[in-house]
Structure 1
């Protein structure tokens, strides 16, 4: 006859090994699902930041220079109109950084730190906070007092001015402006 005692012990051992394998597989699956979730969240965050760096830009419009200095006359104030670039989210211009390079002398100006060098004038739009470009139709005139910015020389006849505005999210816009060939005192000029 057959002995059933030894067969039952083998069945219980196999059952214990099977349960242990199922538990290990469940733990491994949990770790994989958790890791996949973390990677997905990180990829989504990176994608949003990258999109902001590319699309959150400021469009630079017209630039007008004013000459109040005399002998020799130089442009000492620049007014630049700015609006949101296509597809950009709202941008606070007081948190943007501005780089001005006038023929060999350059300086980065932080909008929130250098209010005595920069003034914001809302030209178009209904925003209650004049430093924020919220909609595509908002238009802001930003005035830079070149005379009061340390490290920047006033703009002379025929000088090139490189202007860079960087939004807080990282999108940058470049513009190269040229002063007219002759500058007179108390006159305004379009910098092109």
Structure 2
């Protein structure tokens, strides 16, 4: 059935051909293994990065402790002079840079994206949010961490989206929504609901 190869030259040619085929198979296998290793490494790195982002999204959150409004010196006007939101870090969260934190606010006068004011002094600042905290005296120190367990965000009820900047001020019976977005893109939503009637000048009312 098989023809016997009697010539030594013919035997050598068959052996070389087999060796070439074997080497080619080894090279192909090595290249395929390299591609698989590189792909596996890339997928592992991507999975680790995705896992870390997911963890940050859950843990690096800002929690709201309380929301209050300070009535003006004339309660009969029915206006607030400031909106104060006390915040803290969620359990297990890393330091949260308030310079990279934004507040997307929706109020009676529309929608506005608020960022940290240039001067951190606890004042009401149009178009921005301010910080009232003895531990935070500048933008460089505006970091939410265990050292300052609670920090107060101060909002201006006279400027957009709470007021119109021309006399209309957030006050009695008004409502607003705040989405506080941390640097890790974790969102904390807060609803502000002002009482229908203010009784005393300069009083603090729960929102």
The 5 A counterparts of 1:11-160 are 11-68=15-72, 70=74, 72-103=77-108, 105-111=110-116, 116=125, 117-122=128-133, 130-135=141-146, 138-147=149-158, 149-153=159-163, 154-160=169-175
Give the CA deviation at 1:80.
Answer: 1.1
Rounded to whole Å, the distance in 1 between the matches of 2:80 and 2:44 is 52
**SS of structure 2 residue aligned to 1:146:** coil
Rounded to whole Å, the distance in 2 between the matches of 1:140 and 1:159 is 24
Match of 2:13 in 1: 9
User: So what's the TM-score if we normalise by structure 2?
Assistant: 0.79
Give the CA deviation at 1:49.
Answer: 1.2
Give the CA deviation at 1:137.
Answer: 6.1
- The structure-2 alpha-carbon separation of the partners of 1:113 and 1:20, relative to structure 1 and needing over 3 Å to count, comes to farther
Structure 1 unmatched ranges of 5 or more: none
User: So what's the TM-score if we normalise by structure 1?
Assistant: 0.84
Contact 1:83/1:139 (CA < 8 Å) preserved in 2?
A: yes
Rounded to whole Å, the distance in 1 between the matches of 2:94 and 2:6 is 81
Aligned residues: 189
Structure 2 unmatched ranges of 5 or more: 164-168
Contact 2:97/2:143 (CA < 8 Å) preserved in 1?
A: yes
User: What's the Cα RMSD here?
Assistant: 2.7
- The structure-2 alpha-carbon separation of the partners of 1:114 and 1:173, relative to structure 1 and needing over 3 Å to count, comes to farther
Contact 1:123/1:140 (CA < 8 Å) preserved in 2?
A: no
**SS of structure 2 residue aligned to 1:98:** strand
- The structure-2 alpha-carbon separation of the partners of 1:95 and 1:2, relative to structure 1 and needing over 3 Å to count, comes to closer
